[in-house]
Structure 1
């Protein structure tokens, strides 16, 4: 095992799986207004363009459904390697596509690989788990890298303007596939396979600088994992019953609140309107009456990347709950402002074969205000909901149903993503500015739901979540909970004394 690796470098490489999704966003948003793309694929509008865009989400929906069984059987990291291979196949099909059908097929296959960050959650120490898993969202903002590639290729007066960026998408997948051979298995997955000696070795490798298997905190975490596995096996007596109980547990009274909350977090993140801004930024900018789409789109991607950094640094100190609340209410405000400005200063588009039917003309102040609000929506999302949808759901469910429930949550994410990707181009043409009021209202609903139902999970071990949910800990107490968690530290102290 290569010793220069640590929790940060491992997570950074694994987060390349998130970068793949970011590459997809910019590879589509960067070309949908290009002349080369329109000419080759017949100027797709409405549902046709929606079908092309949403094909990735459709594949990701199917992939997330199967990720649970695959991750539990062959391990989290091997499942990620399989996804990297699928991504390369999808990139080849997209870059060589001879029509809309083949392009959709390539995007569908590539979508199968978009993973669930369970691996990061299970290897991360509790005190920096939020920061570590947030790398997933930071990698998604690798959308900027692909957009710059797309921007450069846009000056090519040939099909290479869109084929070359789609082919380059395979490169990070190759790097991810190779690097995973150097990384350890998840200690919690190893425990379920009764590979206890490896569990201790991996924990020592991940938690100590000198691989000290006698470190009290290592032994304490080992003990917690061991206890949870024992409890799990007392409840489930054989493999067939294990599968039945794993699925049944999702809907038991004890766990359904946690599963529903994990699913809801992902659904609200998609209904926030962020993918309207990310996938269809070109439509938004043109509808606002701004001509230089390439320049102002690139600024958005810079904002997305920069605003993810504060969340990575602060989420383990300021908490999950406040960030979700602030993100929801701020996105709601900016979306209401965008809709109001378009309603007040916009007018019907006189050109019929355009993807947008509402246009702001000769109102530069309104145009720049709309653009500023778009940037603020992106900034608000990436400093709050963007990273936390990868952190929060894996935290709140127990090990025995973690892969299943997180896969279900992510499947819900992709189902909504698919529906929006398919519908938004048609919504641009049918209801124009009213669409922004709809997404603003969804953010208000998300704010209310988080306010009354989402406990704070900062600094808790994954095994301690039962105390919050199953023992009825008051919401206010979990929010005020600040740190030095107690159980794991106390157990480490007992081990050290013994």
Structure 2
């Protein structure tokens, strides 16, 4: 069967798996404040204006958290599935699960059915979000790896944006079609993902691990050798993969427990905390509940929740376009500086929001808003500053922690453990996503503006953690990252490698090596041409 070798096309198809997560975020955030949704799942009766009040805050938190709850389980088992069946096939399995979940969600007649469908969807997202970065990182060349894995986050932002405006258009429909149509439409990208993956090659490193060396060479030739099996780049990469596979096979059995051994615990903690911190920025819960924030900032109206949708949509547009700089320059910037800058600015904007709500807001009158989470009211210039600061927060997350949190973990681990390690890291992401999705509505209802202080504190903590513990992995071949964590020089402490703050981005060296290799190939070809001509 015909296989596509263009690495950008491969990444573009694979990251549709990330877009599924984006569809879920906006399909919930754009709908939870609308009357058709609130009336269909109404538990609290009506307010004095005759509008449905919808589920209780605890139940709404549970509905929202069902997806990340399912994602946690899906991510955790994805390592076993991926190691057994392959990176590509595991993503295809996830696409079918998403279709089933979308059907259940679309047909939901009550809250338990909605929770079940969202949990099934989450199971799919857990598999795809864990294994898409692994697949891309194992097939991409080092100098493009950050950009290509970063497409995962860009796909998430596009999924959020596209589904949001589908939901906005459907919000003008009458009855339950306002939310059933977008929940049904979101099955289409999963079908396209499954179909597109048929024409993509499997990860060459997974094939090598299964002793399918001819197929490994074919994939490397297709993707990296421009169809030339004699390319020196293909030969060198094949030998590096062979050396690593043989060493790992001779020295270790693969299990989750190895991630907790002395020589792996450092990078395990770094990978896990990369995903945990990306959630503790507050970005994803900001996306889920941004309608609540803008309602408190005075953008609500009496039309049943539609007035707040367009301002919320602006944040999703900012999210899409501010991810682009990371795709273009992430490998040039490096991982450490990007994470440090993002943590600093997110802490700043969260602190500003906390101060504005603390000083200028008043408690929302009882019954004014459908949700008790909409607990404050702020108007005038401070309200505009809240909205602007929220947009700036999104603009700070989008080019930093958004893409890097997916790019960084797959670069930390050896081949034999990569599938399981990324499954563990991603499961930590979804565990905290679940907790935060459940926590934020009651937090806004009880501690109000102090919710922002909490997330600002997390951002300050992650800045310090990155500064002292996260090494630079940009542009380093996956087989060479081991040396930073495992110093084997005489006299060195065995499992303490290079201090994180001393590691550097090697982009210029990698590009120089690639240029020199191409130059050498051209020289050899020219010399052979001269000799054949002379003969």
Same-fold call, TM cutoff 0.5? yes
In structure 2, C-alpha distance between the alignment counterparts of 1:277 and 1:336, rounded to whole Å: 15
Change in 2 beyond 3 A, CA 1:490/1:463: farther
Residue 348 of structure 1: aligned partner: 363
User: Which structure has the larger Rg?
Assistant: 2
Contact 2:334/2:505 (CA < 8 Å) preserved in 1? no
Contact 1:135/1:387 (CA < 8 Å) preserved in 2? yes
Gap runs ≥5 in structure 2: 43-53, 301-306, 488-496, 525-535
In structure 2, C-alpha distance between the alignment counterparts of 1:491 and 1:260, rounded to whole Å: 37
Residues 430-449 of structure 1 show CA distances to partners (whole Å, capped at 9, x for unaligned) of 11111000000000000000
Shift of the alpha carbon at 1:213? Answer: 1.2
Change in 2 beyond 3 A, CA 1:491/1:71: farther
Residue 213 of structure 2: aligned partner: 196
Spell out the pairing of 1:87-486 with structure 2 (5 A cutoff): 87-114=98-125, 115=128, 116=130, 117-142=133-158, 143-209=160-226, 211-236=227-252, 242-243=253-254, 246-291=255-300, 292-352=307-367, 353-361=370-378, 363-471=379-487, 472-479=497-504, 481-485=506-510
Contact 1:288/1:342 (CA < 8 Å) preserved in 2? no
Q: Does 1:71 align with 2:82?
A: yes
Residues 97-151 of structure 1 show CA distances to partners (whole Å, capped at 9, x for unaligned) of 0100000000001111112121011111000000000000000012110011000
Contact 1:220/1:491 (CA < 8 Å) preserved in 2? no
In structure 1, C-alpha distance between the alignment counterparts of 2:444 and 2:170, rounded to whole Å: 27
Shift of the alpha carbon at 1:47? Answer: 1.2
Contact 2:476/2:506 (CA < 8 Å) preserved in 1? no
In structure 1, C-alpha distance between the alignment counterparts of 2:5 and 2:506, rounded to whole Å: 32
Secondary structure of 1:445's counterpart equals helix
Secondary structure of 2:362's counterpart equals strand
In structure 1, C-alpha distance between the alignment counterparts of 2:511 and 2:309, rounded to whole Å: 52
Shift of the alpha carbon at 1:289? Answer: 1.8
In structure 2, C-alpha distance between the alignment counterparts of 1:89 and 1:486, rounded to whole Å: 45
Residues 158-179 of structure 1 show CA distances to partners (whole Å, capped at 9, x for unaligned) of 1000000000010000000111
Secondary structure of 2:474's counterpart equals coil
In structure 2, C-alpha distance between the alignment counterparts of 1:196 and 1:3, rounded to whole Å: 17
In structure 2, C-alpha distance between the alignment counterparts of 1:477 and 1:217, rounded to whole Å: 29
Contact 2:3/2:201 (CA < 8 Å) preserved in 1? no
In structure 2, C-alpha distance between the alignment counterparts of 1:315 and 1:155, rounded to whole Å: 40
Residues 221-270 of structure 1 show CA distances to partners (whole Å, capped at 9, x for unaligned) of 1111000001001113xxxxx24xx3232111111101110000000000
Q: Give the superposed CA RMSD.
A: 1.9
Change in 2 beyond 3 A, CA 1:229/1:480: closer
In structure 2, C-alpha distance between the alignment counterparts of 1:217 and 1:488, rounded to whole Å: 11
Gap runs ≥5 in structure 1: 237-241
